[in-house]
Amino acid sequence: MLGISVALLVALTLVPAALSLFGDRIFWPRGLGLWRKGKEKSGNYYARAAQFTAKHSKLVLLVALAISLPAASTVFSSQTSHDFIAQIPSTLESRAGYNVMSQGFGAGTVTPTYTIVQTPVLLVSGSWINVTALKAVSYAENSTLAVPGVSKVYGLTHPSGNPIPFTSFGQLNPAQQQAMILSMKPFLGSDGKSAMVWASLSSEPYSDAAIATVARIRENVGSLKSQVPLLGSSVMYVGGATASVTDLTNSTGSDFFNLTTLVLVGVFIVLLLALGSVFTPLRLIFTILLSISWAMAATVYFFRTYFGTNLIWILPIMLLVIMVGLGLDYDIFLVTRIREYVAGGSKDDEAIDTAVERTGGIITVTGLVTAGAYGTMMLSQIPMLQQLGLAILTVVLLDATLTRIYLVPSIMRRMKRLNWWAPSFLRRVPVRPDEKLIPPIPLKIKLGVTVETFAIIGLSIAMYLDYAHNIYFQDYASQTFSTILSGINVWTGAFLALTSFLTTYFLMRGKSKPGGQPKASRLGKWAERLHTHPSSISKIAPTLPDVSARATTTPPIEQKTVASRPPATGKTEPSVTADSDKKKD
């Protein structure tokens, strides 16, 4: 935050001062500028790219969607890794020592899982032990040993991994009693009321199998509290390296969902106010998510194929946050230039062609610089930095060279006037005269789109409650409703979002004919027939009494010319039909 504030202050104060001081000399050497102008005269790459999107915008959209479906499937089906040991290069001494210890003693012994039992009674005190309480602790240790994935258990009644005869403590001589108490000391709390159950797992402590084992141990703890009265009145915690990774996994998933929602909603509000458009922020979020899905799918494929490893858990979070900022910058470079041209009177297609040609080079150069900076992390020996470097390198290159140059112009060409639609108090682009001739969107279509939008918002809220295991949802939702919501996955939300987008597009699109009338789609015509009535349609030009039925199809401009003629004085104007009959004679 501090770095961004300093950079903004420098850009608003120091840079303008330097430009005013040095003037045109800051662009030295000028030969590069002359070479660039010569290239622009003959038509550069970005001009040809704009022409390509003008001719093949549908093809670009279809290809982007065709690539996004398998990419999104790869991302959603992939698993992230929390293995911190795997992030240490194998050439370092600490990694080599860990490997030796794991081979000699077992990985589960080096990093065990602990279950802490805080009882309300004394377990051991001096030369005395509470046999009744130790029976409950022994039951917990044996129950933990029976959990699949646990290879060994150590505790008060299993100090060496094997059970000791604590029930016959009173029959032992003082020396044997003291030896038994000393063997219990490593697993006894300082207050004499707490015990530790040490579980050695049969799998690597940071693997998915170990995480699943910890989940089963925690389920076992819940059943123990309901089966044994003493344990039910005790406080039990499951900890250790694997338990910490498990909690980190659950917290990361919940935080990632909340972070994604907050970032996207914040971006939408800021762009809505800055650009004065409702559709453009949605389109920006859509294209950024597409770029992220492509890059993550490529990274998953590369590291699974050549290294056999999963993505590190922090990669999706960092990729989302970084690319929302970078993609926002690149998109604003392009969209603000298009908006300036449209506000100046240019057509949408002309504005897009000029903006892509003028800003394409800037976007590409900034993307190359950013990609090169992040790509240097691939030179590190740490796999986490290698994954981050490759993912950010890929997503920045894709976003700066393909998404902003081809995909965004193609979407904007198809959307036409929707690119700049917003309530009157937010709109930045004035309504053009040709847009005033387009009939307004019927009320029933607006209501339908509004109902569908609220349905998607409701589904998103339900998915959030089900995903984050919200306490209010668990208290007030019935078991049947919970079962239904558990079947709703990301694909359902993506399908409904795509359906809403396509429905809105087909209902609201329109291409102007030479006479100024829009060319409606079949679905739009069908919707029009449902609710429009001739009596409620306002006429653009009044009916002229002196013009026959065949002449009423004259464009509005020609009708205005005929109506402006001075009325005849004493003579009747010949009709169009009469004139044509004379010509035939």
Q: What is the pLDDT of residues 71-83, one digit of tens each?
A: 888 887 777 787 7
Which residues have CB under 8 Å from 68's CB, separation 6+? 290, 293, 294
Q: Which two tokens stand for residue 535?
A: 């009596």
> What is the mean pLDDT of the segment spanning 368-396?
89
Indicate whether 479 and 418 sit together in one domain.
Answer: no
Q: Which long-range contacts (CB under 8 A, 24 or more apart) does 71-75 make?
A: 71/293, 71/294, 71/296, 71/297, 72/293, 72/297, 72/494, 74/296, 74/297, 74/300, 74/301, 75/293, 75/296, 75/297, 75/300
Q: Confirm whether 83 is domain-assigned.
A: no
> At 235, which helix (H) or strand (E)?
strand 235-240
> At 469, which helix (H) or strand (E)?
none
Give the pLDDT band of residue 464 (cuts 50, 70, 90): low
DSSP state, residue 188: B
pLDDT score of 574: 43
Indicate whether 162 and 63 sit together in one domain.
Answer: no
Q: Confirm whether 17 is domain-assigned.
A: no
311 or 156: which carries more pLDDT confidence? 156
Contact 72, 494 (CB under 8 A): yes
pLDDT score of 551: 40
Q: Confirm whether 263 is domain-assigned.
A: no
Q: Confirm whether 35 is domain-assigned.
A: no
Which residues have CB under 8 Å from 229's CB, separation 6+? none
Indicate whether 287 and 387 sit together in one domain.
Answer: yes
Give the pLDDT band of residue 449 (cuts 50, 70, 90): low
User: Is residue 147's pLDDT more than 50?
Assistant: yes
Q: Return the amino acid letter for 263.
A: V
Q: Confirm whether 260 is domain-assigned.
A: no
CATH number of the domain where residue 220 is located? 3.30.70.100
Taking CA 134 as the corner, what is the angle to CA 133 and CA 140, rounded to the nearest 5 degrees?
100
Lowest mean pLDDT among 219-233, 300-314, 331-345, 564-578: 564-578
pLDDT score of 462: 62
Average pLDDT, the chain: 76
DSSP state, residue 401: I
Indicate whether 441 and 369 sit together in one domain.
Answer: no
The rounded distance, in Å, linking the Cα atoms of 285 and 282 is: 5
Indicate whether 317 and 414 sit together in one domain.
Answer: yes
Q: Which long-range contacts (CB under 8 A, 24 or more apart) does 437-443 make?
A: 437/516, 437/517, 437/540, 437/556, 438/510, 438/512, 438/518, 439/518, 439/537, 441/507, 441/508, 442/527, 442/528, 442/531, 442/532, 443/531
**Count of alpha carbons within 13 angstroms of residue 206, beta-carbon side:** 14
Lowest mean pLDDT among 140-154, 234-248, 477-491: 477-491
Listed residue (465, 485, 490) closest to 475, CA to CA = 465
Indicate whether 425 and 441 sit together in one domain.
Answer: no
Taking CA 211 as the corner, what is the angle to CA 209 and CA 217, rounded to the nearest 5 degrees?
105
Q: What is the pLDDT of residues 273-291, one digit of tens each?
A: 888 888 888 888 888 888 8
> For the packed helices 241-275 and 443-468, what is the interaxial angle rounded to 10 degrees?
160
pLDDT score of 326: 80
Neighbours of 174 (CB within 10 A): 8
pLDDT score of 91: 79
> At 196, which helix (H) or strand (E)?
strand 194-201
Indicate whether 455 and 489 sit together in one domain.
Answer: yes
Handedness of CA 580, 581, 584, 585 (dihedral sign): negative
> At 242, which helix (H) or strand (E)?
helix 241-275
Tell whether pTM > 0.75.
Answer: no
The rounded distance, in Å, linking the Cα atoms of 156 and 180 is: 9
Indicate whether 516 and 464 sit together in one domain.
Answer: yes
Q: Confirm whether 149 is domain-assigned.
A: yes
User: Among 88-92, 256-260, 379-383, which range has the highest average pLDDT?
Assistant: 379-383
Q: What is the number of domains present in the chain? A: 3
Q: Choose the final residue of a domain: 390, 408, 431.
A: 431
Domain that holds residue 191: 105-247
120 or 453: which carries more pLDDT confidence? 120
Q: Choose the final residue of a domain: 431, 462, 487.
A: 431
Indicate whether 157 and 212 sit together in one domain.
Answer: yes
528 or 291: which carries more pLDDT confidence? 291
Q: Which two tokens stand for residue 225?
A: 């509290």
Would you state the torsion angle of the CA atoms of residues 278, 279, 283, 285, taken in this order, to the nearest 10 degrees?
20
Q: What is the pLDDT of residues 86-114, one digit of tens each?
A: 777 777 888 888 888 877 777 777 888 99
- What are the C-alpha distances in Å from 585 to residues 547, 550, 551, 572? 22, 20, 21, 21
Q: Choose the final residue of a domain: 431, 447, 480.
A: 431
Q: Confirm whether 480 is domain-assigned.
A: yes
Indicate whether 427 and 477 sit together in one domain.
Answer: no
Q: Confirm whether 316 is domain-assigned.
A: yes
- What are the C-alpha distances in Å from 101 to residues 95, 111, 202, 207? 10, 10, 14, 17
Indicate whether 280 and 415 sit together in one domain.
Answer: yes
Q: What is the pLDDT of residues 21-45, one digit of tens each?
A: 888 777 776 655 544 554 444 458 8
Indicate whether 294 and 201 sit together in one domain.
Answer: no
pLDDT score of 410: 92
Share of the chain above pLDDT 90, in %: 15
User: Is residue 581's pLDDT more than 50?
Assistant: no
Length of the chain: 585
Q: Which two tokens stand for residue 234?
A: 């005790």
Listed residue (117, 259, 115, 130) closest to 199, CA to CA = 115
Listed residue (234, 215, 238) closest to 225, CA to CA = 234
